[in-house]
Structure 1
Amino acid sequence: MKKIVALGELLLRLSTKDYLKFSQVNEFNADFGGSELNVLTSIAKFGLPVEFITRLPKNDIGESALMEMNKYKVGTDFIPMGGDRLGIYFLEKGASIRGSKIVYDRAYSSFSTIKKGMINWKEVFKDANWFHWSGITPGVSQDAADVCMEAIEVANEMGLTVSTDFNYRANLWNYGKSPKEIMEPMVAKCHVVLAGDYASKQYFDIEPEGTTEKELLVSLCEKLKDRFNSIQKIAITNRGSISASHNTWSAVLYDGKQLHESESYNITHIVDRIGAGDSFMGALIYGLNTYDDATALNFAVAASCLKHTIYGDANLVSKEEVENLMGGDQSGRVQR
């Protein structure tokens, strides 16, 4: 069975307890996370082998991060240890009409100073069929962008499917290069993308045209495919926010000819929405390796719907739990 490989930064997540604001707390819950790691954790839970590439400090915190990944069967065999520190993000969890807030502290992290040549990509990809990255990684630093491009090029040379989540973060990209300058040649070598109108505008000045929601979605997908000939499939999620604890959730998948539309879920009493997009991407990658496109899309939406009920960055539900939800079981009854 071929591996799914991803590159990205592992972060220490420090979140407030009981929906308190930052100004009210004197302690935080500590967990590990990060977009690309979240993607792989989902895939590993569904039963496919995965390998994560990052860089961690050679200290007790770095070792704890390795142990956490291994607990969820995320491969760590090629991770170089070094650098000064682990990146951190602080999360203030919103409630009702008050949204959540995130503050990053990731400058000079071990991952931000990763260098080309540290990773033997041909060895990493030897038993792999898929490579995933997100727009967060090249936004961290020029070094991280260089390593990401290095990986994308080798993955293409070796015939892997390459996927990306656009994941635009306005508070990154602080090293003198524009997002468009960096992202354009990277996305030009990708085959599956998780996009959105905001990120497409920020990265590529692409804006959809149309009067209906479906027309806008198809327009965005067609413009992305026209710009990037390599793209074979485009996914777009749709979150309707009634409040911080009540959302609707659905998605579409475009294959160049047909726009597949998923089931829509009404999610009340949200436990934690951080990582929902990552769980969608992970389940979509699993689905595209397992099912037809329409089933893969509905699997991804159901899996990421369930993520809203899971505390922490990662989606820890099983394939069977996702299939139960797809089958219509939204009862929440005790399983005996």
Structure 2
Amino acid sequence: MPRIVTFGEIMLRLSPPGWKRFSQADTFEVIYGGGESNVAVTLANYGMDARFVTRIPKNDIGDCAMNALRSRNVDTSHVVRGGERLGIYFLETGAMQRGSKVVYDRDHSGMATIEPGEIDWDAVFTDVDWFHWTGITPALSQSAADACLEACKVAASKGITISTDLNYRKKLWNYGKSPQEIMPALVEHCDIILGNEEDAEKHFDIHPDSVDVTKGDTMDPEAYLPVCKALMKRFPKAKKVITTLRGSISASHNTWSGVMWDGEKMYTAPTYQLSHIVDRVGGGDSFMGGLIYSLQTWPDDDDKALRFAVAASALKHSIFGDANLATVDEVMSLMEGDGSGRVSR
């Protein structure tokens, strides 16, 4: 069975129940999640050997985060315990024309204060096929960026497939370095690059012409081909460049698709109407988890791999919480055209 390692921060997510605003809340619902941990949970849910690496404080809240991972069959054997606190983010879930809001409280977290040399990457990458990281980790701090680069170099030296979700987060890049200064040295090690138009623009000053996700559901896949080509030219090690296509009609109604460029051919997935979104957090992570699974399962069928990833992440929008808990059978059923949502008896 393929073994996949993901590296990043798991956080405590606190959100008002339902669609309440922060100012209305007198209680918060608790979820544990984060970009790379969400991918690990997705893959473990598909029956794959998923290992998550991070640095978590040695206290009761850190224990809760570990328990959340273990309850989903994620390998935590290489998690390092240390730091002052677990990172937190507060989520206000939007509806209709009111967008969601996120407030981060991640300074001085265990992951933000990780240092190179704390992780034994040779041990972590024993019998590993795939390594995944996202642009969120190097946005936390210089030391987190350095630790991520350390991991990429060791994985590359071992011939492990490396993927990244560029995941630009404006609110996180606040330690004095810009993405343009940090990200290129990391992405040059990657075989698989996932990113949308904002990621490409903010990290590398690459952007599609005439793309505006605020203009409803009109998303032209061909408009992203120049971006995919530009990313592959900038990072020649990359074998595939993938972009998710989200059209935002409202906070509750999005369209969802994706494209993949393999250097010769552009693949386009069907577009799904996500008309009653339960939770859009983790949509990109569920896409990445679906993509890693499908590229491992059908390595010679990029079209099927892309369609699986898009269908998987479409289903995630119906699931509360950060992680995708849809099964492989449910994803395959949607891929084959059954989007009826009928009761299974």
Contact 1:209 1:215 in 2 (8 A): no
Contact 1:89 1:103 in 2 (8 A): yes
Contact 1:193 1:233 in 2 (8 A): yes
Alignment of 1:282 with 2:289, yes or no, is yes
Contact 1:116 1:143 in 2 (8 A): yes
SS of the equivalent of 1:202 reads helix
Alignment of 1:308 with 2:304, yes or no, is no
- Tell me, which stretches of 5 or more residues in structure 1 are unaligned? none
The amino acid that maps onto 2:192 is V
Deviation at 1:282, TM superposition (A): 0.5
Partner of 1:119: 119
The amino acid that maps onto 2:180 is K
Aligned pairs (5 A) from 1:253-292:
253-291=260-298, 292=301
> What is the CA–CA distance in structure 1 between the aligned matches of 2:44 and 2:270, rounded to whole Å?
24
Contact 2:221 2:259 in 1 (8 A): no
Contact 1:247 1:267 in 2 (8 A): yes
**What are the superposed Cα offsets for residues 111-170 of structure 1, whole Å, 9 maximum, x if unpaired?**
111111111111111111100000000000011001000000000000000000010000
Deviation at 1:290, TM superposition (A): 0.7
Matched pairs, number: 336
Contact 2:221 2:268 in 1 (8 A): no
Alignment of 1:140 with 2:140, yes or no, is yes
> What is the CA–CA distance in structure 2 between the aligned matches of 1:210 and 1:306, rounded to whole Å?
29
TM-score under structure 1 length normalisation: 0.98
**What are the superposed Cα offsets for residues 232-280 of structure 1, whole Å, 9 maximum, x if unpaired?**
1011011111111111110001100000000111111111010011000
Identity %: 52
SS of the equivalent of 2:43 reads helix
Contact 1:209 1:220 in 2 (8 A): no
Partner of 1:206: 206
SS of the equivalent of 1:74 reads coil
Contact 1:237 1:249 in 2 (8 A): yes
SS of the equivalent of 2:241 reads strand
Deviation at 1:332, TM superposition (A): 1.2
Alignment of 1:166 with 2:173, yes or no, is no
Alignment of 1:322 with 2:322, yes or no, is no
> What is the CA–CA distance in structure 2 between the aligned matches of 1:91 and 1:20, rounded to whole Å?
10
SS of the equivalent of 1:193 reads strand
Contact 1:201 1:207 in 2 (8 A): yes
> What is the CA–CA distance in structure 2 between the aligned matches of 1:2 and 1:241, rounded to whole Å?
35
- Tell me, which stretches of 5 or more residues in structure 2 are unaligned? 212-218
Alignment of 1:331 with 2:340, yes or no, is yes
**What are the superposed Cα offsets for residues 56-97 of structure 1, whole Å, 9 maximum, x if unpaired?**
110111111111101111110011111110000000011111
SS of the equivalent of 2:155 reads helix
Partner of 2:107: 107
> What is the CA–CA distance in structure 1 between the aligned matches of 2:335 and 2:221, rounded to whole Å?
23
Contact 1:267 1:305 in 2 (8 A): yes
Aligned pairs (5 A) from 1:1-336:
1-209=1-209, 213-291=220-298, 292-336=301-345
The amino acid that maps onto 1:293 is D
> What is the CA–CA distance in structure 1 between the aligned matches of 2:77 and 2:183, rounded to whole Å?
28
SS of the equivalent of 1:324 reads helix
**What are the superposed Cα offsets for residues 149-195 of structure 1, whole Å, 9 maximum, x if unpaired?**
00000000000000000100001121221211110111111010111
> What is the CA–CA distance in structure 2 between the aligned matches of 1:28 and 1:322, rounded to whole Å?
31
Deviation at 1:209, TM superposition (A): 4.9
Deviation at 1:225, TM superposition (A): 1.0
> Once superposed, what is the RMSD of the aligned Cα atoms?
1.2
The amino acid that maps onto 1:285 is I
**What are the superposed Cα offsets for residues 192-226 of structure 1, whole Å, 9 maximum, x if unpaired?**
01112211111111123589934421111111111
> What is the CA–CA distance in structure 2 between the aligned matches of 1:48 and 1:179, rounded to whole Å?
32
SS of the equivalent of 1:109 reads coil
Partner of 2:216: none
Which deviates the most, 196-205 or 31-40?
196-205
SS of the equivalent of 1:285 reads helix
